[in-house]
A = this chain, B = another copy of it.
Amino acid sequence: MDTVDPQHLRTFVTVTRLGSFSEAARELGYTQSAVSQQIAALEADLGAGLLNRRPVGPTEAGRRLLEHAAPLLVRLEAARADVARLAGAPSTRLVLGATPLAVGPELGRALGEVRRAYPAAELVVRVLAQGVLPAQAATGEVDLALIDGLAAPSDPLPLPDVGPLATRAVDEQPVAVALPAGHPLAGRSGVALADLSAARWLDAPDLTPTAARLRAAAGVDGFRPATRYRGTDVHGLLALVATGHGLTLLPASALADAPGVASAPIAAPRLVHRTELVHGSLPEGPAALLARLLGA
């Protein structure tokens, strides 16, 4: 063997995930014997013990390998998906993955046109957290991904690199901080992000930039999250803002008419809330059409 065998890698991650050779064998459709031999072969190939047996768990080297394995398998899958889509029959199905804030009237209009052009097509919109979307776009679980996030005006969004993906900005909004109505800063024409570092923050990692991102953008410490909000809906988050649980950054458009919530645009540093369209190769059909519509 010259390169690490991905099959073995897949078996290895399955074993560590399930904590059992036998269960991994069942899940992968092998015999327990095969799994045992695959792990042995991998350990021999790399010249290091990867798993402690009884109880089954990764060693130091195994943990290191795990960090490599997951992205590797994703990219392997992405390569297959990318080529397959390019060669496959034009698909009649369109799966659009999107972060919650990326779904807006513009997308609705574009989807309407797709509907008109392909009346028989099956359209699926899947709302997902930002973190998983690039991988889903790469592996073809979604045909197109609409991802929103915070960035400097001329930087691209900081997305994880999961392979060669095409990226294009489709929308930019000013960034504003969501405040409870009556907050002293409400209605101010511009606020410096750094001045907010001491405030209580709502950390909604599936929805808006995390505290760590804010620290980086503002160049100061602080932004200690008071409450963590897991979920992909804006409504609930704004309700918490209205009741004083903390502040959050959102695109100005999302704050237009939320009850009990005021806002103030962020003046410094220069940030924008950008929505980007991300995709690998596009199967001819509704997906390609939607990409063209959103790009224009």
A interface residues with partner B (beta carbon < 8 Å): 2-7, 9-10, 45-50, 60-61, 64-65, 67-69, 71-73, 75-80, 82-84, 86-88, 152-155, 160-161, 163-164, 215-219, 270, 281
B64 touches A86 (CB 8 A): yes
Given the interface pairs A65-B79, A68-B75, A79-B69, the reply to whether A219 lies near B84 with Cβ below 8 Å is no
Q: Which of B2, B9, B49, B153 is close to A7, meaning CB atoms less than 8 Å apart?
A: B2
Which partner residue on chain B sits nearest A45 by CB separation?
B80
**Which residues of chain B come closer than 8 Å to A152, judged between CB atoms?**
152, 216, 219
Is the beta-carbon distance between B270 and A219 smaller than 8 angstroms?
A: yes
Inter-chain contact B80/A4, CB cutoff 8 Å: yes
A288 to B45 alpha-carbon distance, docked (Å): 25
A164 contacts B68, C-beta separation under 8 Å: yes
> Are A68 and B163 in contact, with the CB atoms below 8 A?
yes
Inside 8 A of A69's CB, which chain B residues have their CB?
79
CB of A75 within 8 A of CB of B72, answer yes
Closest to A2 in B: B7
A10-B3, A68-B78, A68-B164 given as contacts; is B87 within 8 A of A46 (CB)? yes
In the bound complex, residues from chain B placing their C-beta under 8 Å from that of A84 are 46-48
**Contacts A83-B61, A153-B219 given; does A75 touch B77 at CB 8 Å:** no
Residue among A45, A61, A161, A270 with most chain B CB within 10 A? A61
Q: How far is the CB of A24 from chain B (nearest CB, A)?
A: 15
Within 8 Å CB of A163, what residues of B? Answer: 67-68, 71
